[in-house]
Each structure stands twice: as C-alpha cells, then as structure tokens.
A and B are shown apart, each in its own frame.
Chain A
Amino acid sequence: MEELFLKRFAEALEKEVGVKMEDDFREYEEWDSLSLLVILSMVDDEYGVNIDANHFAGMKTVKDIFEFIIKKSA
C-alpha cells in the first residue's frame, strides 16, 4: 500500500526519480499551487479522501499525507 501510494504520488507530480516518505514535498523543485491540486485530485480519485486546507497546512512530509489517508479511510 505504501509503495503504491509513493508510485501514485510520483506519477501525479511527473517526478521520474520517485518520492520518499520522508520527503518534505513543499521543497520539491516543481512544487506549486497546481501540484497541490494534482495531489488532492489523486488522493480523491484513488482513496476517496478529501484533504481540507486546515489539515493540509499542518502536513510537511509525504508520509503526513499518507497517514491522513489511512486515518480517514479506516
């Protein structure tokens, strides 16, 4: 599940080198407001989870997003 999530995350951002759980996603060179929408959309499509702005503001790493999805879909 973790591996698939990382794969989907990297694909959404078109990041060929892949992503890691501990990455601070806001530090990615290509990260911008559009990337955010792409990730929100991927999470909604693949996991049926919506991340609201308040929760998102507190997220720093790829893992934070993954754990939010796990918590929401539990």
Chain B
Amino acid sequence: MIFENIKIAGISAAVPRTVVNNLRDHAFVPLEEREKTVKLTGVEEYRKAADDQTTADLCEAAARALLKGLNVDPKTVDGLILVTMTPDYVAPSTACVLQAKLGLPLAAVTFDVNLGCSGYVYGLYIACSLIQGGSLKRVLLLAGDTQTKICYEQDKNTVFLLGDAGSATILESAPGSSSPIRMKFMTDGSKKDSLIVPAGGFRNPSNDKTRKIEKQPDGGTRSHEHLYLNGMEVFNFSITDVVSTIKEFIAEENIQVDGMDYLVLHQANKFMTDKIAKKLGFPADKVPYSLSKYGNTSSASIPLTMAHCFSKLGDKKDLRCLLSGFGVGLSWGVVDINLQSTRYLDVIEV
C-alpha cells in the first residue's frame, strides 16, 4: 500500500517522572540475575506512571507540547486517533475525552484503536488513509500505554522490560510532496495467547479467581488480569515472521538498505532488536534506541525513540526511515517513510 502527498509535521513524547532502575529496584530478584537481565535486554531503567496518571494524561502532555511547538491551532485538527491497549475507560473511547481536553473541533473524526507494539505503524496507516481517502487535512495521532499498570510487580518476565510513555504525531495533507509512504501489515491471531491479559474483559470476566496472584506454570508470579508474555514464542515470532515480512517488503518495494538513514524498531528488548537489525543487514549506527532509558513502551516506543534520538540531530532535515512495530495480536507492520522537515521535540517529563 502506498500513500502520497502526506507529511509528518512533528513528533513528541511524554514520560512519567518516576524512574524504575532495574539494578537498584526489584529486590525480589538476586542482584546477579538483575545484572544478567539488564545486560541482555539493554533496559537499564524505565518510567512508571503514578497511580492517578493515565495513558490520556501522557498523550495529552505530548500533544499539547507538539501543538504549541509547531504553532498549530487545535481547531485546525480534523482527526484524532488514540492507539492504546491501556485506555482510561472501558467506554467511552479515551480519544473522545482528549478531543475536549485539547480543544479540538466537534467535527473532528475521533476514535481509539486497540493495539500495542504494532500500534504506531498502524496509526500511521489509519491517519494516512483518513487524509488520502477521507479528505482530512490534519490528523493528530496519539500512541501511548501505561503497561506497568497491567504487569504484576513481581513478575520477572515483564517487570524488567515494560515502561510507560505517551506520544503525539501530527500528519498533514501536503499536496506536491514528492515522497510516497509505503506500508505492509500482517496479523496472526492464532498466536494471540503468547502475549495476552487473559481475564478482565468480557470473555473471562473479572472475579476473585482471576484476580488471585499466584505462581504460574511458566515460573512467573501474577494473576490472570496481568499481562502474560511468552518469551520464547515472542522471540521466535520476532526473529522469523517479523524479519521475513520486512525482507519481503524490502524486496517488493525495491528498497535499498544502504539508502536508508535509520531502521526504527519497536523497542522490544535489545537482544532481539539487535538480532532483527543484523538479519536485515542494518549496521548498529543506523538503529536508534530509547530502551536503555525508557524500556519497551508498547505503542509509544517508535515515536519515543524518534523524539529521543532525532531531536539531537540538529538541522539534518531529511531522514529516510524504515519503521517496524510488532507484538500483541500477534500483529506487525513495516513503514518506509522519508521524513522531510519533521520537527522532533525533546522528550517531556510529566
């Protein structure tokens, strides 16, 4: 799929102030094991939302900074998409709450999308579709999650990896723009159980049993309302399915890896992303990271990485990037985009 005459005007990200340090904290795991984990995953620390701080709060902060930084009047935004798997409410869509808070027009097309690690690239697809086929002029794409709220604090499979963040991206109709945006998406719902919060929805409603925290067969401790991550299945998925799709995409679209400035991967963990980059033939200096400081931040990880790394690049205006998000669903996608004159704001703390 291909989109034309669309540009990304700017990208921002916001993180909570509270720092969780993997070596200093998590005393329930011996220090030696903590060191081994940090060495392998690359996550030294991440941010944790306060009890009363939600995905909407983080995304709102990122959005306000971006609207202000780009000098965009909220009344000129005619689409608002929020990608999250940790919304503020079961109903309504959290995006509706943000439409009012941010002062967007009543006529703005506004909705949530329930996706995690693949969410940002999906968000770009939906935003581009709304602009190209749906006659919108300016879309605010918010992607964020507060995953620490769905991880049990002593589940060592998740608690060393996952952090909280929100992001904002503004996409605009740009007639005459010469750089097409290409994308490809894949889904394999048969592997849904490898990354799942099994209970608390309507298939397995919340009750005393689903809330009970206990040792699970995989060795982790959590309840059925916490996030379960099957490391082996997700690892295999990432280094086989995700890599194959990106390789196919590169071949189908006749993309020259040497001509790419950056490969921005979902910040799953460094062990895995290094391996994906290597298999795709990208040298380490073309693969930016934010995970040592912010961990794996689900749908926010790609824009957070761009804000964290690209805001330091100064005046380098054109960046040809391959973006790939992959995870819960299982769902994955890849985007080839030439970022021209995109503004990247420094990461904000809230």
* Contact of A47 with B by CB under 8 A: no
- A38-63 with Cβ < 8 A to chain B: 38, 40-41, 44, 50-53, 56
Pair count A-B, CB < 8 A: 39
CB neighbours (8 Å) of B275 from chain A are 41, 44
* Contact of B235 with A by CB under 8 A: yes
CB atoms of A40 and B37 under 8 A apart: no
CB atoms of B236 and A52 under 8 A apart: yes
- A interface: dominant SS: helix
* Contact of B233 with A by CB under 8 A: yes
* Contact of A32 with B by CB under 8 A: yes
Q: Given A44-B239, A50-B240, answer yes or no on A37-B232 (Cβ-Cβ < 8 Å).
A: yes
The size of the chain B interface, using a CB distance under 8 A, is 18
CB neighbours (8 Å) of B219 from chain A are 32-33
What is the minimal beta-carbon distance from B278 to any residue of chain A, in angstroms? 9
Interface mask (B230-269 → A, CB under 8 Å = 1, otherwise 0): 1111011001100000000000000000000000000000
CB atoms of A36 and B232 under 8 A apart: yes
Q: Given A32-B33, A44-B239, A50-B240, answer yes or no on A37-B40 (Cβ-Cβ < 8 Å).
A: yes
What is the minimal beta-carbon distance from B43 to any residue of chain A, in angstroms? 12
CB neighbours (8 Å) of A36 from chain B are 231-232
* Contact of A34 with B by CB under 8 A: yes
* Contact of B215 with A by CB under 8 A: no
Which partner residue on chain A sits nearest B37 by CB separation?
A34
State A50–B242 Cα separation when bound (angstroms).
Answer: 14
- Told that A34-B36, A36-B231, A37-B272 touch, could you supply 18 new A-B pairs with CB distance under 8 A? A32-B219, A33-B157, A33-B219, A36-B232, A37-B231, A37-B235, A38-B271, A40-B235, A40-B236, A41-B235, A41-B271, A44-B275, A50-B236, A50-B239, A52-B236, A53-B232, A53-B233, A53-B236
